[in-house]
Structure 1
Amino acid sequence: MSPEASADDVVDQPVRAQFEAFLDEHRGALNRCLDGLTEEQARRSLVPSRTTLLGLVKHATFVEKVWFNEAVTCRSRAEIGIPTTPDESFILNDDDTIATVREAHRAACEASRRATSSLGLDDTVRGNRRGPLPLRWVYLHVLRELAQHCGHADILREQLINE
């Protein structure tokens, strides 16, 4: 996703560099869950929910926009052009492909990096429904969400590959 350092490379770096390296590793891992899959495999539903591998990456794009656009800029989801609810962000349209969803995710991650580049970890973002939050909390929240979805993706991918 990013040419930034891996988490192993930032052990002795400032905490901001550590957060960003961990975020980028998880962003990349989630994006790579689509490697080598057909469009049909990426869309295949293996669980009762709307969760698919392609849907997970599409949802990750939503997450980036909620936490690093809506929360930072205070723009509404409608203004940003994203679904109202997280559940809706898993819905795949006919024109969603591995390539288009990956590109949207890549672009959202780049926009997230730009949006936070001038902020400090203790700076407050004010556009989230929870109210004002320090950027540090936002980074931790997004990291937690990405880690959970990477785990979901690992399990779904294993099911697909072993069919």
Structure 2
Amino acid sequence: MNLHVATERELLEGLLDVQRAEIARILDDADEAEARSRLVPSLTTPMGLVKHATFVERIWFHSRVAGVPRQELGLPDTVDESFVLTEDDTIENVRQGFLDACARSRTIAAEHELDDECMWHQGPVNLRFVYGHMIAELARHAGHGDILVEQIREARRD
């Protein structure tokens, strides 16, 4: 699809999918130790970014748009917790969890119109807002991932 001449819906879906692909790529060429590398003071790691992006997909589309309570989805209570890695987290299962969450988000979104509203703690928002928010959110984290990957590659050269 050519996003330059897409409908509004196609454009929003396409731009979000571009950012989803960028998030999934963060873990390309990393080993398990590198994926868990904490190179900044925050909880941000390459794998943690992907895990957080899964959380964001599930919060916005699975919970807010689809109306499934957070507790039923087993989501952490805080944003910080969404970056925390467990011993069971691997590149493969974290990336697959993200891809699965994205697929479910696409299905949910397809069942709604851009003007359909859902509740957010700041008030009602429509699906158009959700797309815009998700594009910005994932783009920001994809950029964080690019910087971490660059640091990891530089450390390999040393």
Q: TM-score range by the shorter chain?
A: over 0.9
Deviation at 1:130, TM superposition (A): 2.4
Report the equivalent of 1:85: 78
- Aligned equivalent of 2:128, options 120, 123, 136: 136
Q: 1:162 corresponds to which residue?
A: 154
Match of 2:35 among 42, 58, 62: 42
SS of equivalent residue, structure 1 residue 67: helix
C-alpha distance in structure 2 between counterparts of 1:154 and 1:116, whole Å: 28
Partner of 2:123: helix, strand, or coil? coil
Give the counterpart letter for 1:131 in structure 2: G
Separation in 1, partners of 2:122, 2:108: 19
Structure 1 residue ranges, 4+ long, deviating more than 6 angstroms after superposition:
none
Shift in Å at residue 119 of structure 1? 1.1
Q: How many angstroms does 1:129 deviate by? A: 2.2
**In the alignment, residue 154 of structure 1 is paired with which amino acid?**
D
Greater relative contact order (Cα 8 A, min sep 6): structure 1 or 2? 2
Of 58, 61, 67, 1:68 maps to 61
Aligned counterpart in structure 1 of residue 15 of structure 2, from 16, 22, 32: 22
Structure 2 unaligned residues grouped into runs of 5+: none
Task: Please tell me whether residue 122 in structure 1 is matched to residue 115 in structure 2.
Answer: yes
Give the corresponding residue for 1:113: 106
SS at match of 1:31: helix
Counterpart-to-counterpart distance in 2, 1:88 and 1:76: 18
Distance in 2 separating the partners of 1:31 and 1:11? 24
Measure the CA separation in 2 of the matches of 1:143 and 1:82: 21
* Root-mean-square deviation over aligned CA pairs: 0.9
One-letter code of the match for 2:152? L
Residues 32-81 of structure 1 show CA distances to partners (whole Å, capped at 9, x for unaligned) of 01101100000010001000000000000000000001111322211111
Distance in 2 (CA, whole Å) between partners of 1:160 and 1:74 is 39
The code of the aligned residue for 1:70 comes to S
Among 122, 147, 160, the alignment partner of 2:139 is 147
1:95 equivalent in structure 2: 88
In 1: Cα distance, 2:149 partner to 2:26 partner: 7
Percent sequence identity over aligned pairs: 46
Q: CA deviation at 1:158?
A: 0.5
